[in-house]
Amino acid sequence: MIIRSKAPLRLGLAGGGTDVTPYSDLYGGATLNATISMYAYATIIPSDKGKIVIRSIDKGEYLETKSIDNLPIDGRLDLLKGIYNRVVRDYTKTSLSFELATFVDAPPGSGLGTSSTLVVAVLGAFAEWLKIPLGEYDLARLAYEIERIDLQMAGGKQDQYAATFGGVNFMEFYKDDKVIVNPLRIRSVYLNEISHNLVLYNTRTSRVSSAIIERQSKHILDNKAKYIEATHKLKEQAIRMKEVILKGEIDQIGEVLDFGWQHKKLIAAGITNPTIDQIYETAIASGATGGKISGAGGGGFMFFYCPNNTRYRVIDALRKFGGTSHRYEFTTEGMRAWTI
C-alpha cells in the first residue's frame, strides 16, 4: 500500500501580514490569496519493520530511527517530526512504522508558503492512511497548531488554509485564531487574464521569514502607531483587491499591488533591501504597474502585474539580476490524498 498527497503553494496577493498574531487578535486581519500549480508532495509507505524512515528529497535530508511515539526535536527534519508527534499524541496513541518521503516544488524561504503547505500535505497523507476524519478547517487548524504552537515557528495563518482549501480565497482572521475562508467565484476570463499578466520571478535568494515576522509582531505589541497604521493599510488592500477582481476591474490590480507594497515595506525592517528595490523599480520601468515580494519579505519570489504584453519586456529586463521567471497556472483544488 502506498499513500500519496499533494497540496498547492500560494501567491499572497493582498493583506499579507494582517494574519499574524497579535495584529489579527487585536484588529482583525484579511488576506486574499490564490493557489498555483506548484506543490508540496508526500508519500507514506506503511511498514512492519519497527522503523521510521523520513526522506526530504528536495533538501537531501534523511533520518532513520526505531519506531517511538515521540521523535526528538533537535534541528533535523523537525517539521516532519512535529507532524508525526502530533498524530501519535492526538490520534494513534502508539508509535507507527513507515517510510515518509517529501518533495516541494519551491525551496524553503521562497515566500510561497512552502513549510505550511508541506505540513498540510503530510498531515493529509497521515489522515488518508489512518482514516482520521479531518474536515478542511480541522486540517488547516491542526497544521497551524503544529507549526506555530508545537514547534514555536513564527508566522501567520493564511498559508495552511490556502493549501487546504485551494483556489482564490478572501480570508478573515479574528482573535482566538478564528478564521473564515470565503472562496471567490471569479469568471474564468478574468482569472486567465490575471494569470497571463502576473509575472512570477524567483530572485534566487532565500530568507528566514521568522525574524521579519517577530519584528513585525513586536511593533504591534509595543503599540507603535506608524507600524499599526501601515498594517491597517494592508487589510484595506485585501478588501480593495477582492473588489477589483470580482468586478473584473483587472487593470487596477497593479495599482492595488503597488499600494500594498509601499505600506508593507514600512511594517518591519528586512522586508526589502537595495537589490529588491532595484528589481522592483526595473519591473515598473519596463511596463509593470505594480508588484510585491511574496510572503514575509527579504528574498524569495516576487511577482509583478504586467498588462497587455508588457510581461515579455519585464521578464527580459529582469534577466540581469540573475533570477528566473516561472510559468504557472491558478488552481482550484486544495490538498488531495489518495491510496494505491
Report d(CA 21, CA 260) in Å as an integer.
19
Q: What is the CATH number of the domain that holds 113?
A: 3.30.230.10
The pLDDT value recorded for residue 205 is: 80
Same domain, 179 and 199: no
Residue 6 sits at φ, ψ, to 5 deg, of: -150, 150
Amino acid at 42: A
Record the cell numbers describing residue 72, joined without a space: 526528538
* Residue 335 domain flag: no
- Do 93 and 218 lie in one domain? The reply is no
Residues 139 and 160 in one domain: yes
Average pLDDT of the residues in 242-247: 96
Beta strand 290-293 with 198-202 is unpaired
Residues 289 and 194 in one domain: yes
- What does the pLDDT look like over 247-305, one tens digit per residue? 999 999 999 999 999 999 998 888 999 999 999 999 999 999 999 999 878 889 999 99
Number of domains in the chain: 2
> pLDDT at residue 208 above 80?
no
Domain containing 153 equals 3-185
Q: 240 and 111 share a domain? A: no
Which cell numbers in the block locate residue 113? 508558503
User: What band does 312 get if pLDDT is binned at 50, 70 and 90?
Assistant: very high
Q: Which of 185, 213, 248 is the last residue of a domain?
A: 185
Is the residue at 135 inside a domain?
Answer: yes
How high is the pLDDT of residue 207? Answer: 65
For the segment 162-203, what is each residue's pLDDT rounded down to a tens digit? Answer: 999 999 999 999 998 899 999 999 999 999 999 999 999 999
Q: Mind listing the pLDDT tens digit for each residue in 14-58? A: 999 999 999 999 999 999 999 999 999 999 999 999 999 999 999
176 is annotated as an active-site residue: no
Three-state secondary structure call for residue 45: strand
**Residue 96 to residue 94: CA distance in whole angstroms:** 7
User: Tens digit of pLDDT for each residue in 86-115?
Assistant: 999 999 999 999 999 999 999 988 999 999
DSSP 185-238: ---HHHHHHHHHHEEEEE-S----HHHHHHHHHHHHHTT-HHHHHHHHHHHHHH
Q: For residue 150, is pLDDT > 80?
A: yes
pLDDT given for residue 85 in this prediction: 98
Of the listed 58, 90, 150, 159, which one is catalytic? 159
